[in-house]
Amino acid sequence: MATSLEISKNCQLILALDIEDRTQAIELVKQSGGELEWVKIGLQMFTHYGPDYVREIADLGKRIFLDLKLHDIPNTVAKAIASVSNLPIDMLTIHTCGGREMMEWAVKAQQDNKPDLQLLGVTVLTSMDDDALAGIGVNRSTAEQVIALTALANEAGMSGLVCSPHEAASVKAAHGDQFQLVTPGIRPTATNAGDQKRIMTPQLAADQGADYIVVGRPIYQASNPAAVVAAIRSDLG
Ligand code: C5P
188: CATH: 3.20.20.70
Does 105 score more than 70 pLDDT?
yes
Domain that holds residue 134: 4-235
27: pLDDT strictly greater than 90: yes
Kindly report the pTM of this predicted structure.
Answer: 0.93
What distance in Å separates the CA atoms of residue 116 and residue 180, rounded to the nearest whole number? 13
Q: Whose CA is nearest to atom 19 of ligand 1?
A: 184
pLDDT number for residue 193? 74
Q: Is the CB of 76 under 6 A from ligand 1?
A: no
For the segment 50-101, what is each residue's pLDDT rounded down to a tens digit? 999 999 999 999 999 999 999 999 999 999 999 999 999 999 999 999 999 9
Bridge partners for 120 per DSSP: 93
Whole-angstrom distance between the N-terminal and C-terminal Cα of the chain? 18
**Three-class SS string for 155-220?**
HCCCCEEECCHHHHHHHHHHHHHHCEEEECCECCCCCCCCCCCCCECHHHHHHHCCCEEEECHHHH
Please list the active-site residues. 69
> Do the Cβ atoms of 152 and 103 come closer than 8 Å?
yes
Tens of pLDDT, residue by residue over 28-55, are 999 999 999 999 999 999 999 999 999 9
- Per the structure, the count of domains in the chain is 1
Q: Is 121 close to ligand 1, i.e. is its CB under 6 Å away?
A: no
pLDDT at residue number 7 = 41
The answer to whether the CB of 85 is under 6 A from ligand 1 is no
Distance CA 182, CA 165 (A): 8
Confidence grade of residue 24 (pLDDT, cut at 50, 70, 90): very high
Q: What is the average pLDDT across 186-199?
A: 78
